[in-house]
Structure 1
Amino acid sequence: MELIGQGMEGAVYDLGDGTVRKVWFDRRPEDVRPLQEFLDELPELPFRTPRIRSISAGENGLAVSVEDKLTGVPLHEAGLPEEQALDAFVAVVEALRTVRPGVASKALPMVGQPFWTESWGQSLASLVRQRAATSKVHFERDVPAFAELLDNVVSQLTALPTADLSVVHGDVCPPNLLMDGHQVAAVLDWGFTSAAGDNTFEASLAAGFFDMYGPDARRLDDLLLDRFVQLGHDRERMHLYRQAYAIITATIYDENAGDGHYTWCVNQLTR
């Protein structure tokens, strides 16, 4: 078996028969089955999505899954002109806008924590409160009037009107889009922030993820936000969702708030 990739959740090996073997780092089989059910619910889309064919337990009791191999060139390596790369992002978000969520999409955890409660807005507000507690000491140091900002974000999320729900991927970023020429061939890495939710949440995050750290990051973010506004997404709600995501994930990769992702999140809360 050839190791072809490794991320936060596991290592992926090519089995040479059109499938891959994923060895999960910290999930047991029962933790992966909700993701399998969610992926099985996804309808046919203009691009391929993962399918988990089997789940077993390794010697340490952690999950080992066999999945379809998805092929293509990651967007950030595809060498596309800027406009075509932006088009790819918009196409994925708009395709997901049409997908009505099934039962499994409300059973998924978000960032490893139980998520769905009475409504999308209330579920997100509850998670923001929980995750804010883990980063409070850092935010109070780096974000002016953080307590007031947190109360405002939670209040606005709780008051969101009932929205038409779509399937949210939650991490539409260049490494997760595999390209075949200028077409999106596949979208990878579902589950970490996937749920039944508001497609405007997807649009907000995708705009910020296109280029998080480069010198043109703000310009490209603004370009995509403008395009999503033209497609009917509310700018203020996108800003609210960006703040919510920043609070939820600020210390998800480094509990000591010493990484670039934390800095990016602080910038979203102070922009």
Structure 2
Amino acid sequence: MEQHDQRWIDELAGLGYSAVEPLAGGMEGAVYRLGGGTVAKVWGRRDERDLIGIKEFYDELADKGLSFATPRILRIHGSELGHCTIEEELPGTPLDQTAPCVDGDPGPRARDHVLDVLAELGAVSPSGGLGRLPVMDESVPFRDSRSDWAGSLTALIHRRLSRFGPQLDSAVTDLPGKAERVKRLVRAWGHGRDGLVHGDLITANILVDESLRPTAVLDFGFLTTPGDPAFDVAVTASIIDMYGPQHRRIEAAFDEAAIKRFGYPRELLLLYRAVYALITSNAYDPKGADGHFRWCVDMLERDDVVEVLNS
């Protein structure tokens, strides 16, 4: 999580915002409330060109008729500290604060609302700017008009393993064999309808009203792309409570509800978890010395995942 920085508070005060208040932090950066219905988001690793692309993405997403709000960039500001965006403040309270988890479990009502959000995003017909975002720390769009989901995903797996394969290979049994089986299965399975994949849909990124109805969704960008909606379901179910002692039970409850609602094969959800582990293992630490890397290793060694890869 990006930490709040007094230098940015001073920078924003210099722009005329006299009541800057640290608000939140996420994978992409720190957020400050500015007053007057606006917030500032400090981006840890995005340049102006990236942010122009993100603004175009947000502008196009706003026209998709979603029942909840999504971010809108009003202004891009650059300084020696980096870049921030001035954005509309979105309505609602984070779902994880409104429906506190019990042992990591947000409960059935909150789970149903998360699935509501996934259903709406999965029904989006991506076009134009929605397909031009890079993912993670890459500098080029994950997909273009000539590439399909399966081809883009297998290419991303290849690029990530070219960079970080040695760390994973030292920790994962038969990594080359597993990676090849993952790519083969993605090519066999991954040719369905595209929706919009959020890629980091945790309860903190969903704002809700007092009845838990989603009012806004935040923090697009980390793995946001046109793609198979089942990928977003698989990832969300696993990262709602990544590190808690009940994470497998919580994941299973999400799977059960998602399979009932969307009809996805359980094997596809497990395959996409293996994909997520391969592509994000070093997203937070290039050396793989963090908890996320260990989580990805464990996912690639899980009996149920290995069984699907060997099928």
TM range (shorter): over 0.9
CA-atom RMSD in angstroms: 1.7
Which structure 2 residues correspond to residues 200-219 of structure 1 after superposition, within 5 A?
A: 200-219=230-249
Tell me, in whole angstroms, the C-alpha distance in 2 between the residues paired with 1:140 and 1:6. Answer: 32
**Structure 1 position 76, deviation (Å):** 2.0
1:220/1:6 CA distance change after superposition, 3 Å: closer
**Structure 1 position 125, deviation (Å):** 0.5
Matched to 2:199, the amino acid is: G
1:86/1:8 CA distance change after superposition, 3 Å: closer
Contact 1:129 1:154 in 2 (8 A): no
**Structure 1 position 237, deviation (Å):** 1.6
Which structure 2 residues correspond to residues 4-153 of structure 1 after superposition, within 5 A?
A: 4-42=23-61, 43-60=64-81, 62-79=82-99, 82-113=107-138, 114=140, 115-117=142-144, 118-153=147-182
Displacement over 4 Å in runs of 4+? none
**% identical equivalent positions:** 36
Contact 1:29 1:64 in 2 (8 A): no
Q: What's the CA shift string for 1:37-71, capped at 9, x where partnerless? A: 111111232221111112232245x3221111123
Tell me, in whole angstroms, the C-alpha distance in 2 between the residues paired with 1:180 and 1:236. Answer: 35
Contact 2:28 2:222 in 1 (8 A): no
Secondary structure in 1 matching 2:58: helix
Matched to 1:55, the amino acid is: I
Task: Provide the TM-score with structure 2 as the length reference.
Answer: 0.82
Q: 2:187 aligned with 1:158, yes or no?
A: yes
1:35/1:163 CA distance change after superposition, 3 Å: same
Q: Which residue of 1 aligns with 2:275?
A: 244
The size of the alignment, in residue pairs, is: 270
| Gapped regions of structure 1 (runs ≥ 5) | none
Matched to 2:203, the amino acid is: P
Q: What's the CA shift string for 1:56-100, capped at 9, x where partnerless? A: 32245x322111112322222223561112112111111112111
Task: Provide the TM-score with structure 1 as the length reference.
Answer: 0.93
| Gapped regions of structure 2 (runs ≥ 5) | 1-19, 101-105, 303-311
Structure with bigger gyration radius: 2
